[in-house]
Structures are given as structure tokens and as C-alpha cells.
Amino acid sequence: MKFTVGRDKLLDVIRKVQAVIDRKTTSTILSNVLVSSDPREAGRVIIVATDFETSFRGFLDTGVLDEPGQFVVNGKSFYEIVRTLGEQDVHLSTDENRVRIQSGKSSFHLNTFPVEDYPKIPDFGAVDLVEFGKDVIGKMIRCTGFSVSSDHSRPNLNGVYFVMAAKGDGYLLTMVSTDGHRLSRIEVKVPRPMDAPDVNGSAILHRKGLAVMKSMLETGDEFCQIGFDDRNVIFKVDNAVVSIRPIEETFPEYRNVIPKEFPVKVVLPRKPLEEMIRRVSVLNSPQVKAIRVRVAPGVVETIASNPELGEGRDELPIGYDGVEVAAAFNYQFFLETLSIIDEGQLSLEFIDTISACRLVPVADEGSEGPRYDAMFIIMPMRM
């Protein structure tokens, strides 16, 4: 095989591959990528990576494909070499059991592996895909990915539950995650593109699949495409498509655990609240993660107490004249939640001293774009 391609084009594809290749596997072949000429389109090269749960297929328009063929090479080494090259074109050619990578005065030889040993992955060309803004999907992943459970004894919580439903002139997209101590949920209705098919589906997307999706959203065009087949979620961005095999479990009926009413509601600026919690949390330790949040007429107060170090308090004036309520929470859960909220204000909501609290972003006045319905539930701690 012999072809020439722009360094930045090649780097863009093999950078995305890094989120897929499995460096910890005992099977060496899953640490590799398959590079082959596309038999259906002249001058195009396909780069494939898989760990069986997540499969990636990236496309390169080379411009110059002198000799068709294919080879398998270590994915990380391939990436590190291309990353260090200058911005000149990259020339690749195979010779027996090696591939030569040359750009300018730089030249490398990498060992190749038997092509017949590389796993076969499906094409997914016949799957109906629906186009969405990359910023929409990126925001939804960001608002839910952080609260996925790492407890492997509860596999149905080890991913983000994603629902895509065609409704009238639009699509309702939902993402939910929970680790049993907190719950994150975001919904948005987006207009249906012209002539878009009726695509409905749901799946629990595992951490690695989410990481690959996030990586693919970082560059390129402003749109992405999503679809479902019998076993996989299909995600396409620009010159790459990834298939994610979902976690084959049933996600809990999360709506049943969300309280119907939060009678105490306080609207306040997000950033000052985050800074206030961060300040008092300096007295916490790995063993002591609780802070007390108190809402009283005219004020929100945060209190951290460490028997070995002392106590810290901070407060923020607010326009509130209702009943007083206070509860203890894991300060890290609060900070992680506040850090992913884009809006300048939020509604901080309570029931009583022993129940969960809810954080609801408040849309900025005059803001344009999709209207997100997001909320974050944090369970209390005992002190």
C-alpha cells in the first residue's frame, strides 16, 4: 500500500482513534488499527479501531493513492509519530512486514501485524441517521457523564441512559445518569430536520462510548448524526463513524425517585455559590466530605466543620423570606454539578433537613438556541 495525505487530516482521524484502542487488553490486536484503501471510492483510505464494545471507522481523502492495500499497526505509536511531524504531507508505504512513514526529512518504520487477525466490524451504511447540533449532544453528555456510577456490581448504572424520540415536528432527546447518591437529567426538544426519518431508540451508553463521542465532538463540522440498529448506537461526525454496543441492562425507573415537590426554592447566582462552597471546603479531608447548606430569610450559608482542624462559614445574601431549612451534603458532588452548569443562575431547592436537594439551571435572559430542561438531584449526608 502506498499513499500521501496531509499531516493534519491524518492526525485528526488517528487522534480520535486513541479513545477506542484498548491499551490494557491482553489481546495485542486490539491495541492496533487497520489502515486500508476504500474499494468503493478511489483515493479514500479507511482507518478502523475496535475493542468489540466500541468500533471506530474514520475516512481520509488522500488525493494521492498510488497503490491500494491494507496494513495493521500499533495505534498509539502511529499517533505519536504523526503528532510529532511538521505540517508537510505524510507519505506512507508498506514493504513486507513494515510500514514507512516519511515527512520532510523525518522517516520512521513501524512493524505491521497480520491483517487477517484483525476483527471484522460491520459497515453500518444502511442505518437511518438524524442530524443534531454538536453543541446539543456535547452539552447533554457533559451534564450527565460526571455522575455515572463506577460500582460494577450495578451494571445498569455504569452508563448514561439515552432516549431519542420522534415527536411531531421535533425530536425529544433525554440523557440521565445516577450513582445512587445523585442523579443528573437533561432533556431538550430540537426541530426535526427536513425529511428526517422517524428514529426512536434508547440505550445505556457506557463510559468509553461517551468518551469516544466527546472526543469526536471536539473538532470539525457543527453537526453530528445519531441512529440505532438492532444492537448498537451509531454516531457519525464529519469523516468518522462509531458504533457503541450499549450496556444490556434495564435502567431504573428514575422518575419514581424524584420528589414531586420542593417547597423551598431559592434563585441565586451560580458562580458565587460555587466559590463559597470551595472556600469552606478547604477544611474538609478525604474522611470528612460533608458541608452544611442552610437557607434562611435573606441568606444562604455554607458551613464546614472538621474536628481536627476547626470550622469555616461563608454566606451569600439572597432575596428569600421563607422558612429556614438546612441539610448536609457531599461538597464534591455540589462542586462537580456547579462546574458543568453553563447558566449564570440556578434554583436551589429543598424539602426538609433529611431529603434530597435539587439544582435547576435558570436560562439566561435573552439567551438563544435550544431550551434545555436540566436538573440535578443530590442526596443528603448524615453528620
125-157 tens-digit pLDDT: 678 999 999 999 999 999 999 999 999 999 999
Judge whether 77 lies within some domain. yes
Judge whether 347 lies within some domain. yes
Q: Which of 267, 212, 258, 286 is nearest to 351 (CA)?
A: 258
Residue labelled with grid coordinates 492495500:
69
Judge whether 340 lies within some domain. yes
pLDDT of residue 233: 96
Do residues 230 and 286 share a domain? Answer: no
Q: Which of 196, 225, 254 is the last residue of a domain?
A: 254
What is the average pLDDT score of the chain?
92
Q: Which of 219, 238, 254 is the last residue of a domain?
A: 254
Do residues 269 and 248 share a domain? Answer: no
Bridge partners of residue 186, in order along the sequence:
175, 374
Do residues 34 and 108 share a domain? Answer: yes
Query: CA angle 238-239-244, nearest 5°?
Result: 90
CATH number for the domain spanning 231: value is 3.10.150.10
Q: What is the mean pLDDT of residues 194-198?
A: 83
313: its cell numbers: 462559614
Do residues 90 and 167 share a domain? Answer: no
pLDDT of residue 220 exceeding 80, the answer is: no
Query: Exposed/middle/buried for 195, CB within 10 Å: 0-12, 13-18, 19+?
Result: exposed
pLDDT of residue 267 exceeding 80, the answer is: yes
Q: How confident is the model at residue 26 (pLDDT cuts 50, 70, 90)?
A: low
Judge whether 38 lies within some domain. yes
Do residues 240 and 350 share a domain? Answer: no
Q: For residues 27 and 98, what is the distance between their CA atoms, to the nearest angstrom?
A: 20
Judge whether 236 lies within some domain. yes
Q: For residues 120 and 122, what is the distance between their CA atoms, to the nearest angstrom?
A: 7
pLDDT of residue 383 exceeding 70, the answer is: no
Do residues 223 and 304 share a domain? Answer: no
Judge whether 149 lies within some domain. yes
pLDDT of residue 382: 78
Do residues 298 and 245 share a domain? Answer: no
User: pLDDT digits over 31-50, tens only?
Assistant: 999 999 988 888 899 999 99
Do residues 266 and 234 share a domain? Answer: no
Do residues 242 and 303 share a domain? Answer: no
> Would you give the DSSP letter of residue 170?
E
**Domain count within the chain:** 3
Q: What is the mean pLDDT of residues 283-305?
A: 90
- Least confident span in 116-125, 166-175, 263-272: 116-125
pLDDT of residue 173: 97
Judge whether 125 lies within some domain. no
Q: How confident is the model at residue 13 (pLDDT cuts 50, 70, 90)?
A: very high
Q: What is the mean pLDDT of residues 199-226?
A: 92
pLDDT of residue 368: 76
pLDDT of residue 284: 82
Q: Which of 63, 93, 117 is the last residue of a domain?
A: 117
Q: Which of 357, 190, 343 is nearest to 264 (CA)?
A: 357
Q: How confident is the model at residue 197 (pLDDT cuts 50, 70, 90)?
A: confident
Q: What is the mean pLDDT of residues 110-119?
A: 94
Do residues 80 and 180 share a domain? Answer: no
Do residues 242 and 181 share a domain? Answer: yes
Query: Exposed/middle/buried for 240, CB within 10 Å: 0-12, 13-18, 19+?
Result: buried
Q: For residues 264 and 272, what is the distance between their CA atoms, to the nearest angstrom?
A: 20
Query: Exposed/middle/buried for 232, CB within 10 Å: 0-12, 13-18, 19+?
Result: buried
Q: How confident is the model at residue 71 (pLDDT cuts 50, 70, 90)?
A: very high
Q: What is the mean pLDDT of residues 288-313?
A: 91
pLDDT of residue 230 exceeding 90, the answer is: no
Q: For residues 136 and 164, what is the distance between their CA atoms, to the nearest angstrom?
A: 13
Q: What is the mean pLDDT of residues 102-125?
A: 90
Which residue range forms the structural domain that includes residue 302?
Answer: 259-378
pLDDT of residue 194 exceeding 80, the answer is: no
Do residues 241 and 339 share a domain? Answer: no
Residue 67 neighbours by CB distance under 10 Å? 10
Q: For residues 51 and 381, what is the distance between their CA atoms, to the nearest angstrom?
A: 39
Q: What is the mean pLDDT of residues 283-303?
A: 90
Judge whether 275 lies within some domain. yes
